[in-house]
Amino acid sequence: MASEMAYTTLGDTGMEISRLCLGCMNFGSGEPWMLNDEAASQELIDRALELGINFLDTANVYSRGESEEIVGRAIAERDRSELVVATKVYFPMRDGPNAGGLSRKHVLDQARASLDRLGTDYVDLYQIHRWDDETPIEETLSALDHLVDEGLVRYVGASTMPAWKFTKALYTADVENVDRFVSMQPEYNAVDRHEEANVLPVCESEGIGVLPWSPLAGGFLTGKYDRDADPESGRAATDEYTAARFTEENWAVLDEIRAIADARDATPAQVSLAWLLHKDVVDAPIVGPRRIDHLEENVAALDVSLDPSEIERIEDPITPRWPAPGKD
Ligand SMILES: NC(=O)c1ccc[n+]([C@@H]2O[C@H](COP(=O)([O-])OP(=O)(O)OC[C@H]3O[C@@H](n4cnc5c(N)ncnc54)[C@H](OP(=O)(O)O)[C@@H]3O)[C@@H](O)[C@H]2O)c1
């Protein structure tokens, strides 16, 4: 039986989002581990919507616009009001000056370009992908506020930065009386918990919606890799960032997750996602399935409930620290 989708509101806003967001980074050809198959990408998006997911996350930089174009074609014939579409700006889209960053010029240029690629009149959530040290935050916030005033953007969000910078962005928006960020995308999963020591307490106290990226640690937490063997397939075979998660500390977490999954007749992916969904601060993990069976397995995590002792077992091997080596 298909799991019933659950919904929540994004942070303190009234916008309703599914408790799993569909990550669209895999749709494109930018990296060897991506789908590079438009028909399969469209099927995945269709199935996600059929399962009740109403929330899609992409970025201008994902395969330099290809992901947005694929999402655009997927939503073209749908009732736009039923969908929550999120994209991002910051990383360079070409070589040369003004190719990236968060200047008023680049933000306004890329907002238009994203709307064209997505084939839509507005995005629901427009996110800054990273902090730009070269642009005053006042300039970025005023450009984002303008997009909201123009009706091109419904809400603004942020992603992955030091807590003090995010706090500065929030109080600057209040002082300047412009739209403030309503959401944050941190890297957050059972083995990457550094944000517990960074931005998550800010989100909790400020009513910011938390949308964890890489909720399965790029596939590590599905239990598909073997401690004693080099990965021959899966993302970790070609992606160093994912392979760097093969540490003793992380295998110890996975051992607990595997044991809990066995006892509960669930899969390690489902237990890992359930762990995130049990965190009050988390609104919607952004899952990045590459196949329909991944998606269906991941959605069924909504049916898994963990007790406090299981949560403790998963958390015991790691003490969250920020900054974490090799992380933003
Ligand atoms: N804000 C940011 O800076 C940022 C950064 C990264 C990502 N994101 C967002 O977060 C989304 C998700 O990130 P992610 O793709 O790293 O998430 P993830 O869910 O941790 O990893 C996804 C990968 O894990 C494997 N996988 C997923 N479910 C599986 C299952 N049930 N069984 C076996 N393998 C499975 C697949 O890779 P293989 O089959 O290839 O092994 C899949 O591509 C992205 O699409 C993007 O929207 C945001």
CA of 155 to the centre of ligand 1 (A): 24
Q: Is 287 in the pocket of ligand 1 (CB under 6 A)?
A: yes
Average pLDDT over residues 294-306: 98
- Kindly give the distance from the C-alpha atom of residue 121 to the centroid of ligand 1, in angstroms, as a whole number: 28
Pocket test of ligand 1: the residue of 235, 272, 275 to mutate, having most ligand atoms within 8 Å of its CB, is 235
Question: What is the rounded distance in angstroms from the CA atom of residue 220 to the CA atom of residue 110?
Answer: 33
- Looking at CATH, the fold of the domain delimited by 7-217+278-303 is given as TIM Barrel (3.20.20)
User: What residue ranges do the domains of the chain occupy?
Assistant: 7-217+278-303
Q: How far is the CA of 143 from the centre of ligand 1 (A)?
A: 30
Residues 60-114: pLDDT tens digits? 999 999 999 999 999 999 999 999 999 999 999 999 999 999 999 999 999 999 9
**Which of the following is catalytic: 62, 126, 155, 188?**
62
Name the residue at shortest CA distance from atom 35 of ligand 1: 219
pLDDT band at 292 (very low <50, low <70, confident <90, very high): very high
**For atom 34 of ligand 1, which residue has the closest CA?**
219
User: What length does the chain have?
Assistant: 328
Gap between the Cα atoms of 60 and 196, Å rounded: 28
Q: Atom 31 of ligand 1 has which residue's CA nearest to it?
A: 294
Percent of the chain scored above 90 by pLDDT?
A: 98
Question: What confidence score (pLDDT) does residue 328 get?
Answer: 82
Report field, pTM of the whole predicted structure over 0.75: yes
CB of 117 closer than 8 Å to CB of 68: yes
233 DSSP β-pair partners: none
How far apart are alpha carbons 166 and 173 in whole angstroms? 11
CA separation, residue 276 to residues 30, 208, 246, 284 (Å): 28, 16, 20, 9
Q: How far apart are CA 254 and CA 264, in angstroms?
A: 15
23-56 pLDDT, tens digit each:
999 999 999 999 999 999 999 999 999 999 999 9
| pLDDT for 2 | 66
Q: How far is the CA of 72 from the centre of ligand 1 (A)?
A: 20
**How far apart, in whole angstroms, are the C-alpha atoms of residue 201 and residue 167?**
11
For the chain, give percent helix, strand, coil, nearest 5.
45, 10, 45
